[in-house]
Amino acid sequence: MSQQRELRGGLVRIRSVYQTLAPAERKVADYIFENYEQVIYLSVTQLAEGVGVGDSTVIRFCQNAGFRGYQELKLVLARDLVEPSEDLSGGITFDDSLEVMARKVSSANKNALEDTTKMLDLVELERAIEALVQARKIEFYGVGASGITALDAKNRFMRLGLICDAATDSHIQMMSAAVLDERDVVMGISFSGSTKDVVQVVNKAKERGATAICLTAYARSPLANEADIKLINASVETPLGSGALRSKIAQLHILDLLYTGVAMRLGSKGRIYTELTAEAVLDKLY
């Protein structure tokens, strides 16, 4: 899979499931990454012949990548080509000037936001907003860097008057999940979607009847398979490993959409609690 080509829109959606595809389906994905400008003009049979697989493999690939079919795949790729952006996706090198480095980092961060918005399922976003608004209590679970995102989520939604908490320790997570019920909502946060602690605590919460939301970059990960509601963020990692912060930006973007959606649903009630929490810390400032 080429690392020199910017992954956008439909390509980001494919990347999110790449590791879970069958070997023959990965061949289809690799071909599309290298030739996506031409793929939009090919029939399913022509693409299959170019890859060296059968038509049925292409169809299965489309379905497993989250498309309704081959025509939707071509439609999404064509839409991505309407507004091409500057190609700064080659990764940062030690030969880059400070100016080039700044432009590459800025471009990659911007693309993480745009790609997340493009691939976000608005139906799932609406379901998540509804679940959060109706919840008796909300628990945010994450470990490592995603644990920091969980803490930030608690900080934001608490300001709207929602009863919520965040746990980043696996023991505390399991204990909190054990006392939930069908009135509660949990959000498991994991970039890879394969963090055992997060998957296990979401499973425990579901055993107790709670509604489970996941925030991950991989649509067919163990965490996504466990969740009732799936929120998928996009992120492209670079050779120098700055993708961790880029992943955080994409996660926070979805949290911001959730927060804004919940605030809009709560209306005046949300504004009242926002004012109350703001006033509560006024004397903490000089």
> Hey, where are the domains in the chain?
9-84, 122-282
Mean pLDDT value across residues 194-212? 96
State the CB neighbour count (10 A cutoff) for residue 31. 20
pLDDT score, position 91: 63
pLDDT score, position 208: 97
CATH for 122-282, options being 3.40.720.10, 3.60.15.10, 3.40.50.300, 3.40.50.10490:
3.40.50.10490
What 3-state DSSP class applies to 167? strand
Hunting for tokens 């169809």 — which residue is that? Answer: 59
Lowest-confidence region among 9-13, 29-33, 116-120, 162-166: 9-13
HEC sequence for 76-140: HHHHHHHCCCCCCCCCCCCCCCHHHHHHHHHHHHHHHHHHHHHHCCHHHHHHHHHHHHHCCCEEE
pLDDT score, position 86: 45
Mean pLDDT value across residues 191-210? 94
**pLDDT tens-place string over residues 74-111:** 888 887 775 544 444 456 677 888 988 888 888 878 88
| Rounded Cα distance, 272 and 173, in Å | 30
If you average pLDDT over every residue of the chain, what do you get? 86
Mean pLDDT value across residues 33-52? 87
CATH for 9-84, options being 1.50.10.10, 2.30.130.10, 3.40.50.620, 1.10.10.10:
1.10.10.10
pLDDT score, position 247: 80
Nearest alpha-carbon partner for 227 in 261, 185, 169: 185
pLDDT score, position 242: 40
**pLDDT tens-place string over residues 227-264:** 999 999 876 544 334 445 778 888 999 999 999 999 99
